[in-house]
Amino acid sequence: MNIPSLDSLGRWFRGTSVYRSIVRHGVAETSRNRSLIVFENLFLHVHPVKVREKALRFKHTYWLGGITMVCVIVLVASGVPLMFYYHPSVPQAYQDMKELKYVVDNGVFLRNLHRWGAHLMVFGAFLHMLRVFYHGAYQPPRQFNWVVGVVLLVLTLFLSYTGYLLPWDQLAFWGVSVGTNMAREAPVIGDKLRFFLLGGNAVSENALLRFYVLHCVLLPVVLFLFLGVHIWRIRKDGGVKGPSEEAPDAFHEEEP
Amino acid sequence: MSALPPLTAVESNDPVETPRRVALLRPDLRPSVRRSSEKFVMAYPHLIIREVILFQIVVIFLAILALVFNAPLEGIANPVETPNPAKAPWYFLGLQELLHYYPPIVAGVLIPGLVVVALAVIPYARINLSAGPLWEGKDEKRTTQILAVAASALVLFFAGFQCWAAAVPTAAVAGAMYLARGGSTGGTWRQAMARLSLPQWIMTWFVILAAALTIIGTFFRGPGWSFIWPWTHMVQS
Amino acid sequence: MKTDSFRLRRVFAITSVAFLFTLAISPAKNYFREYRSIQEQFRKLGASRAHSLKDAKTYQNRPVAISQIWLRDFGNRVDRCTTCHQGVADPAMANAPEPHRLHPWTAHTPGDSDRMGCTSCHSGEGLATVRGDAHGTTADSSSPLTPLANIEAGCGRCHTSEAVPQAALLSRGRALITKAGCYACHSVRGHEQFRSEAPPLNSVAVKTGGEWVRQWLKNPRAMDPNSSMPNFQLDTQQIEELTHYLFSRPVNPELAAKVAAASQEAPGDAVSGKKIFSESRCITCHTVEGKGNGSAPELSKVASMASRGWLLAFIRDPHAFSPETRMPRYHFSDSESRDLVAYFETELKDFDAPEGILDPLHVNQTLAEKGAKAFRGLGCFACHDPAQGTIKEKFGPDLNGLGDKRAASLDFGRRTDLARTLPAWTAAKLMDPRSFSAGLKMPNYGFKNEDVQAIVTALLSLGSKPVPEAYHPVSHGTSAPIPGGAIGQLVQQYRCLSCHQIGTQGGDISTAPLTFEGSKVKRDWLVNYLMLSFTIRPILEERMPIFRIPKDEAEKLADAIESFYVNPAIPEDPFAGRPASDQNASEGQRLYVANGCRACHIIGPSGGYYGPPLTDTSTRLKPGWVFKWLKDPQAWRADVRCPNYGLTDTDALRITAYLETLRAPGAQKSSGGKG
């Protein structure tokens, strides 16, 4: 019996009508097909078909936005399984942390991944902001995208902060108590704001439930909305902008 | 089954070589075409593969972190047993450190509010868009005076509340700003400093301040928010 | 372009492999968890110990799984200890190495394992399947395992505030806590009504002298080794202030008059006093040069401790001076008490004492005022002036929930030498309370090492959460009330509870609890015994003192005991109306001999000294009680040494009948002349 080579098997598979119904373009050997790969794919089509070669260089962006984005993906991927094991109630929430360690397969790994991923996301977002600032990448036409970025930074902080309470340990409880006590000092609305956030006058089970809903539903939805706008805008504003001093050298004008 | 016929791809973006767009112009305008000598590459595979590699590296990094270090978990929340000190998450420790010096309304509301607003308006402030290097083409004397007044006001504001963690970096940044004067002929560092515009100086000052306050709040604060050395913890436990 | 793309592909290949590899580490770690290999060991061990092929197969086929005990009553907790300790209930695992070993037998194991789980007794983290976490050896663990030395603390979680017969250390610890008077300063659930025995300091000026008080405050134990007052480690200045304050306190005029009158009396006869002293068996509680029970003050220097007038007045009516004292009021005549004090003054005196140790002090008001502050600041009032201690807050910290305190929340202060654990902290607090930081107020009790372990055990039993209702120990109907009225006054006067137990109350000097005394002894015998008590158990050093109770009082007490302190479960007549002689008494005698009762009991001329002599059983004991005792001696007190022979009703009745035929030689009337 003839053992088909891997290559011929691949060719056969790409020729089947099922495959052709899903993927309409051919092998990525031609530029046409390479373009088709990008704009026929929902997930890739935020990319332009062509990018400046310069934009691929490490020093152009230090990939900081990318790192932050990967963190978002990691956080969703580890956060959703964690939700299966978590009850936002007292004292079960804390017991669930123990169960993650003692019973759930890979529970500790998931929790650690989520925790460190969250820290990296805050850190990455902050560095990304600095990079954009020092490269002057907020200048027209990118003004609005900078504002969207600031909103995203604030959302990231809120996400991290609401998640901080969920383990319901001493660290969580007092960390959130200290933070929300600061919010109380806001003039006029301070106390009301805190009451609204905590669902009461102190950090309690109500606060845990509110933070849980904020952390798992409301804030992620808002984050993804803004993230969509942010990434869409990068493309619409002409791609990522690197160090500003490059610009004058890159163009020269010519009479037609 | 036959593959689709390949198209001859146009690899050039040169508008002079391969004009693809027609533009209508008013006759009184002098049309010019910008030619970019920039090289363009296909997003697939050049960008996409880099993104996938980035993804893998970040995940590997996080996974190793998650395998080596366990996320902290203390005893169950107990409203009666206040830990000393009770600390917020690290990214708020700079604010908590300020809270030690300033009334809560300043440290907890005013300053963070101002920071967010200031960040949001950056692209709309004229100075941010048009500013050149700080000392370039300006009356050096006047700039020095303004710098001296602003810096001493800020240092006094911080020192008045014994907030040395903010006062010292502020003074240091002001000093560096002054040193950058005429630095375009100096060494690499001075040259880099001389290139910084006023907004960049302000941002640098903010970052150094935030980092100093956060580091002090995270590592140097013990019971009753007293100053301790980071290794004091280790001796205790 | 080509090479760049090639390099990129190579990087991509490397990162892809690394990516898959790193993501596989956690599942692999998960697969090689410690409990899996422990369960594997257990299967092998079980198979090697199995007696049949089928048993061995059963062991080998055990699935690898987390096993847990669900404790519904304890807040829906689970204990997963059995995941690793798989042999705890497996008799084949006796003497197996840990963690596979069979749990030793206790009153609750294996019977209550499913109901109580593991952590309700042993503490530790029940949820954990990782060794360090389960045993709480990791830093800042919420619930570390109770150390073996204090293991009985677990018993005390349910058996709150009572003596637990099978937990000797716990019971001793609790007794020590009561004796040391800890409850005066620290609040502990169930001991809110605690009153210190310390004397109210309202007659110091007429009792003793300034120099004596100074020496006493310096170190009470040096003056009286039996004293329960701790050493407050006072400096000279504080001692001076407190002394002046104590002498400045107003003296109760009634007591002052009594002492003044008594000091005017003529001296008694010391020789007669010495005789009265030994006849009255004072050393049942007191000591003289260390000889005696030691639950009351050492008397070898008593005449250098208090004035003659005070001693006389005190012996005549101790309760007027110290309402909470355990000392009974004796019926000494005026001349008898004079003789006793004369004996004290000739022999029980500190001959090395400085001149004028009992001279009154001239009070300096400034010092006295400072002393008053010190008296409050040091917490002296908590024991010596309970009226002032009616302030709701106790002087010291609340001890409830101490056993569940996390080590991280404890203040170790200067004590960097200690292990960071709750038992170590508690022990150090007891050994040297002031060593933690300056300004601590707890005095030094001078506990011995073994006492500290006992007290630590008792303190660790103070859990923060009360155990569910269903787990409260069933008390065995022992809550016998103390009658009021005239009888109550007599019980008070003779301080029966200082030595005897009635229900859950009372001291432990006597081996005879009075809870069911009415079902035990015959009335006429009891009346005689109260009037002139004699030795029942020859081996014991502590004997009932002779109070010189008048006949009418003895009869009242005996009647009260006969009517109050009876147990309905004990039949008045075990022979069901038929005369004792109907039973086969000679068979009973044979059984008495065959079971070796003679080893401990005397009948007639021969027998052992451990148990009470049985020669006069028929005059002393009621047959119903004898019968019930023979059936189960430990039912009355768990620490009874008399073995339970598992006698049948018939045999027990026969021995009862045999004992019933015995008569004391003096009271021989119609006995069969046996024994």
Predicted confidence (pLDDT) per residue in C390-424, tens digit: 556 788 889 998 998 888 788 888 888 888 889 99
Tell whether B235 is covered by a domain: no
**Chain A within 8 Å of C128 (Cβ-Cβ)?**
yes
CATH class assigned to A56-242: mainly alpha
Contact check, Cβ <8 Å, C15/B53? yes
User: Does the distance separating the beta carbons of C139 and B49 come in below 8 Å?
Assistant: no
State mean pLDDT over A9-35.
86
| Complex-level ipTM | 0.90
Say what the pLDDT of residue B35 is. Answer: 64
Chain B neighbours, 3+ Cβ pairs < 8 A: A, C
User: Which structural domain range is residue C23 located in?
Assistant: 1-32
SS (H, E, C) C277-292: HHHCCHHHCCEECCEE
Residue C476's CB: how many other CB atoms inside 10 A?
Answer: 12
| C43 and C26 in a common domain | no
Nearest to C308 by CA among C261, C365, C262, C361: C262
Which has the closest alpha carbon to A213: A175, A165, A255, A171? A165
C43 & C178 share domain = no
**In Å, how far is B38's CA from the nearest CA of chain C?**
15
What per-residue confidence (pLDDT) applies to B1? 42
Q: Is the pLDDT of residue C86 over 70?
A: yes
Task: Please list, in sequence order, all residues whose beta carbon lies within 8 angstroms of the beta carbon of residue B198, skipping any fewer than 6 positions away.
Answer: B127, B131, B134
Question: Is 70 exceeded by the pLDDT of residue B20?
Answer: no
Residues of B (2-61) whose Cβ lies below 8 Å from A: 3-4, 6-7, 9, 11, 13, 16, 31-48, 50-51, 54-55, 58-59
Strand pairing category for B40-42 and A50-52: antiparallel
Higher pLDDT among residues C170 and C2, named by residue? C170
Contact present, A108 and A78 (Cβ < 8 Å): no
Q: Count of A–C CB contacts within 8 Å?
A: 25
Across the interface, do C26 and A98 touch by the CB < 8 Å criterion?
no
pLDDT (0 to 100) of residue B188:
83
Q: If we measure between CA atoms, which residue out of C350, C327, C442, C345 comes closest to residue C396?
A: C442
Q: Which of A127-136, C270-279, C619-628, C662-671 has the lowest mean pLDDT?
A: C662-671
**Cross-chain residue pair A73–B36, CB shorter than 8 Å:** no
CA distance A150 to A125: 9
> Are residue C455 and residue C522 in the same domain, yes or no?
no
Residues C531-543 have a mean pLDDT of: 74
Query: What is the predicted pLDDT for the residue at C137?
Result: 82
Preceding amide of B45 cis, omega within 30: yes
Query: Nearest residue of A to residue C31 by CA position?
Result: A105
Instruction: Determine the average pLDDT of the residues in C350-364.
Output: 83
| Token output for C205 | 């000026």
Q: Does A185 touch chain C (CB under 8 A)?
A: no
User: Of A219-233, B58-72, C32-46, C270-284, which gets the smallest average pLDDT?
Assistant: C270-284
Question: In this predicted model, which residue has the larger pLDDT, A204 or B138?
Answer: A204
Residue found by looking up tokens 């002001």 in the block: B174
State whether C489 and C638 are in the same domain: no
Residue pLDDT, tens place only, C269-296:
989 999 889 888 888 889 888 888 888 8
Query: For residues C314 and C535, which has the higher predicted lDDT (pLDDT)?
Result: C314
The answer to the question of residue B176 being in a domain is yes
- Say yes or no for a CB contact (<8 Å) between C127 and A106: no
- C327, C410: one domain: no
Q: How far is B90 from chain A (nearest CA, A)?
A: 9
Using CA atoms, how far residue C383 sits from C184, C197, C319, C434, in Å, is 6, 8, 17, 20
- Nearest residue of chain C to residue B46 (CA atoms): C5
**C398: Cα separation from own chain's centroid:** 20
Q: b/e string for C83-118 if b means 16 or more Cβ within 10 A?
A: bbbbbbebeebeebeebbebbeeeebbeeebeebbb
Contacts (Cβ under 8 Å, ≥6 apart) of C299: C282, C286, C287, C288, C344, C348
**In this complex, which of A95, A106, A109 lies closest to C127 when CB atoms are compared?**
A95
One-letter amino acid identity for B131?
A
pLDDT tens digits, residue range B155-190? 998 998 888 889 999 999 999 988 888 777 778 888
Nearest CB partner across the interface for B67, out of C5, C26, C140: C26
Query: Would the pLDDT of C674 be above 50?
Result: no
Using pLDDT thresholds of 50, 70 and 90, give the confidence band for residue A244: low
Q: Is C77 helix (H, G, I), strand (E, B) or coil?
A: strand
The mean of the pLDDT values for chain C is: 85
Count up the domains in chain C and report the number.
6
Domain membership flag for residue C385: no
Q: Give the integer Cα–Cα distance in Å for C562 and C306.
A: 41
Q: Cβ–Cβ of B63/C406 closer than 8 Å? A: no
Residues C226 and C364 in one domain: yes
For residue B35, the chain A residues in CB contact (below 8 A) are 251-254
Same domain, C27 and C45: no
To the nearest whole Å, the CA of B180 is away from the closest chain A CA by 17
| pLDDT tier at B28, thresholds 50, 70, 90 | confident
The verdict on B75 touching C (C-beta cutoff 8 Å) is yes
Name the pLDDT band for B3 (thresholds 50, 70, 90). Answer: low
Q: Which of B26-35, C125-134, C515-524 has the lowest mean pLDDT?
A: B26-35
Q: C-alpha angle A183/A188/A193, rounded to 5°?
A: 40
Q: How far apart are CA A242 and CA A55, in angstroms?
A: 7
Stretch A52-80: mean pLDDT:
94
State mean pLDDT over A212-233: 96
Report CB contact under 8 Å: B63, C23: yes
The answer, for B72 touching chain A at a CB cutoff of 8 Å, is yes
State percent of chain C over pLDDT 90.
26
CA distance A185 to B109: 7
pLDDT band with cut points at 50, 70 and 90 for residue C584: confident
Residue C27: burial class (beta carbons within 10 Å; 0-12, 13-18, 19+): exposed
Indicate the pLDDT class of residue C437, thresholds 50, 70 and 90: confident
The answer to whether position B204 is within a domain reads yes
Mutation choice for B interface testing from A115, A176, A204, A255 by most B CBs within 10 A: A115
Average pLDDT, stretch C549-575?
85
Which chain B residue's Cα is nearest to A248?
B36
Out of B99-113, C350-364, C370-384, pick the least confident.
Answer: C350-364
Average pLDDT over residues C65-81: 89
Which of B49, B66, B67 is opposite residue C8, by nearest beta carbon? Answer: B49
Examine the pLDDT at C130 and tell me if it is beyond 50.
yes
d(CA C630, CA C642): 9
- Same domain (yes/no): C307, C415: no
Q: Do C18 and B56 make contact, defined as CB atoms within 8 angstroms?
A: yes
Q: Tell me whether residue C4 is in a domain.
A: yes
User: Which residues partner with C109 through β-bridges?
Assistant: C106
CB-based contacts of C23, cutoff 8 Å, min separation 6? B59, B63
One-character DSSP codes across C442-481: PPB----HHHHHHHHHHHHT--SSPPPGGGSPPP-S--PP
pTM for this prediction: 0.76
Q: Is there a domain that residue B19 lies in? A: no
Residue C673 confidence (pLDDT): 33
Q: Does a structural domain hold residue B52?
A: no
pLDDT at C388 over 90: no
Residue C630 pLDDT > 50: yes
Task: Please give the Cα distance from C32 to C35 (Å, whole number).
Answer: 8
C80/A98 Cβ within 8 A: no
> Does B40 map to a domain?
no
The whole-number pLDDT of residue C140 equals 64
HSE toward the beta carbon, residue A66, CA cutoff 13 A: 21
Measure A149 CA to nearest chain C CA, in Å. 30
pLDDT for the residue B5: 54
Assess contact for A96 and B54: CB atoms under 8 A.
no
Confidence of residue C596 (pLDDT cuts 50, 70, 90): confident
Instruction: List, as one string, the DSSP characters of C42-63.
Output: HHHHHHHH-SSHHHHHHHHTPP
pLDDT of residue C53: 92
Q: Residue for token digits 């020789």?
A: C271
Q: Provide the pLDDT for residue C625.
A: 87
CA distance A132 to A149: 10
The answer to whether C284 and C535 are in contact (CB under 8 A) is no
Say what the pLDDT of residue B18 is. 62
Residue B233's pLDDT is what? 52
pLDDT tens per residue across span B192-234:
888 888 888 999 999 999 999 999 999 998 888 888 888 765 4
- Compute the average pLDDT of residues C323-333: 86
Contact C125 A98 (CB under 8 A): yes
**Least confident segment among A80-94, C285-299, C340-354, C629-643:** C629-643
CA end-to-end span of chain B:
73
Q: Break chain A into its structural domains and give their ranges.
A: 56-242
| Candidate from A95, A98, A106 with C-beta closest to C27 | A106
Asked if the C-beta of B64 comes within 8 angstroms of chain C's C-beta atoms, the answer is yes
CB-count exposure of residue A205 (10 Å: 0-12, 13-18, 19+):
middle
The overall average pLDDT reported for chain A is 89
pLDDT in tens, B110-133: 889 999 999 999 999 877 777 778
Backbone angles phi, psi at A42, to 5 degrees: -55, -40
Which of C445, C473, C501 terminates a domain? The answer is C473
CA distance A219 to C63: 44
> CA of C1 to nearest chain A CA: how many angstroms apart?
11
Q: What is the pLDDT of residue C664?
A: 58
Q: Token digits for C194? A: 């605690």
pLDDT tops 60 at residue B6: no
pLDDT digits (tens, 9 = 90+) for C10-23: 999 999 999 999 99
Domain span at residue B116 reads: 90-228
Name, in order, each residue with C-beta under 8 angstroms of C548's C-beta and a sequence gap of 6 or more: C330, C331, C332
Q: C39 and C20 in one domain? A: no
Q: State which H helix or E strand residue B40 sits in.
A: strand B40-42
- For residue A38, the surrounding DSSP H or E stretch is helix A31-39
CA angle, C664 then C665 then C666, to 5°: 90
Give the pLDDT confidence of C206-243 residue by residue, as tens digits.
Answer: 888 888 999 999 999 888 888 889 999 899 999 999 99
The answer on pLDDT for A256 being more than 50 is no
* pLDDT of A67 over the 50 cut: yes
Q: Does residue B105 fall inside a structural domain?
A: yes
For A70-90, what is the mean pLDDT?
Answer: 96
Q: Is the per-residue pLDDT at C536 higher than 80?
A: no
What was the pLDDT predicted at C3?
67
Chain B residue at shortest CA distance from C24: B63
Q: Is the pLDDT of residue C629 over 90?
A: no
Q: Is residue B8 part of a domain?
A: no
Q: The tokens 């009635």 sit on which residue?
A: C502
Which of C198, C206, C202 is closest to C307 using CA atoms? C206
pLDDT of residue C310: 92
Number of domains in chain B: 1
Query: Are C85 and C222 in the same domain?
Result: no
How far away is chain A from the Cα of C29, in angstroms, using its nearest Cα? 8
pLDDT of residue A217: 96
Nearest CA in chain C to B59: C19
Q: What angle do CA B167, B170, B174 make, to 5 degrees?
A: 140
